[in-house]
Structure 1
């Protein structure tokens, strides 16, 4: 399977660094490790609450960058929030008891990494991907299966999407994952994406990927490999 980044993405947006963690042969269910992963998330949630104690979420440098990117491809950032802004709003909201919902080890691990480093992270079950994974620009004809419902909709023209050969895997770069490739307790092979722009170097991305890889190995097993896609390297074969 090939993972690739459309050259238009790296040409349009500043210093795009897409960290890729591929893990094969893992087990994605909670047995004896829920409390440990829950503890990691609680620590990250506290860190986020401390970080935003004296400032607004929209004053965070990373979130400012992503809001600008969303505006560039036509998504109003006050309506469509990047994944890290959504997570930060969840854990700073009294309505959500200052925490995010626990889902399964893989999702909880990548949410922990996302909160700790305040960077968008997502992923796909690669056994459900058809052909390839491509970060590209939508032409408005691409179909999308809404998460947890399977209802169909279409990407908007010019929005940034992940897609495979058949349909959209994630809308608005990191706004909403597809129902098609969601991570659940049947997932055995996965590709996780850490999305850096502007303020993140390739070295930063490799450090974050390495940390996430160790957690996935510890709690889910499997064989892991890390790579970074950027303007110097637009394709990866897995």
Structure 2
């Protein structure tokens, strides 16, 4: 599969500390259950409950709140996914379901490292994936609502399959699309690990490498990684 993943120059101009760790996983085996992964997920949730962070002051959260404010999104209404996840699991006695192995890996790393981790089925996405500002004409079908079609706001940061105009994630890291959702039958994925602020590159790389190792171990995937930055704004996948 040939695909290009690109960050628009305007995003880096407005958010110069932004870094996106990328993991491409092929020959993925996402079927079935993993007791080890489920135990790790439950342990990470338990630790988050025992040692909660302050969602109003921790820069790993507030840097994203400010980023959303900057492009005109109300982060209290459209809560960034990792903020929402931490808010949920920091409550005592909370559990989250084991959906599939890849989703568990996403949740484990996002909770543990307090960082946005998202993924898409690459075979459903197209050949050009872009993080850019919306022109308002793109189409978005929210995950779990396959009959719903929305248009993003003009100027909203979106992750979009440029070939089709299908939005894979709205408001940067708020909500994923239905078409490229990861299921048990998914075999090729692209995972995004986003970081802003202090030590963003180090944090993106650390979590990226953890995600890659877990995909190889638990899903027997062939993985390749890269980092998108102002100096390296795109990645060409040739498979």
TM-score range, shorter chain: over 0.9
Q: Is 2:82 aligned against 1:84?
A: yes
Which structure 2 segments of 5+ residues have no match?
A: none
CA distance in 2, matches of 1:8, 1:47: 38
The question of whether the paired residues in 2 share the 8 Å contact of 1:206 and 1:226 is answered with no
1:12 aligns with 2:35: no
Find 2:125's aligned residue among 125, 129, 138.
Answer: 129
In the TM superposition, 1:71-220 aligns within 5 A as 71-93=69-91, 97-150=93-146, 151-164=148-161, 165-166=163-164, 167-220=166-219
Stretches of 4+ aligned residues off by more than 4 angstroms: none
TM-score (norm 1): 0.93
Segments of 5+ residues of structure 1 without an aligned counterpart are none
Aligned twin of 2:68: 70
How far does the alpha carbon of each residue in 1:187-231 deviate from its partner, in whole angstroms, 9 at most, with x for none? 000000000111234333222211111111111012101100010
CA distance in 1, matches of 2:39, 2:187: 24
Indicate the SS of the match to 1:76. Answer: coil
- For residue 93 of structure 1, report the CA deviation from its aligned partner: 3.3
Maintained 8 Å contact 2:16/2:230: no
Counterpart for residue 48 of structure 1: 48
Q: Residues of 2 paired with 1:58 and 1:201: CA distance? A: 19
SS in 1 for 2:150: strand
- Work out the number of aligned pairs and report it: 232
CA RMSD of the aligned region, Å? 1.3
Contact kept? 1:17, 1:200, Cα under 8 Å: no
Matched residue, 2:4: 2
Deviations for 1:1-44, whole angstroms, at most 9, x for unmatched residues? 0000000001001311000000010111224x2x2111111121
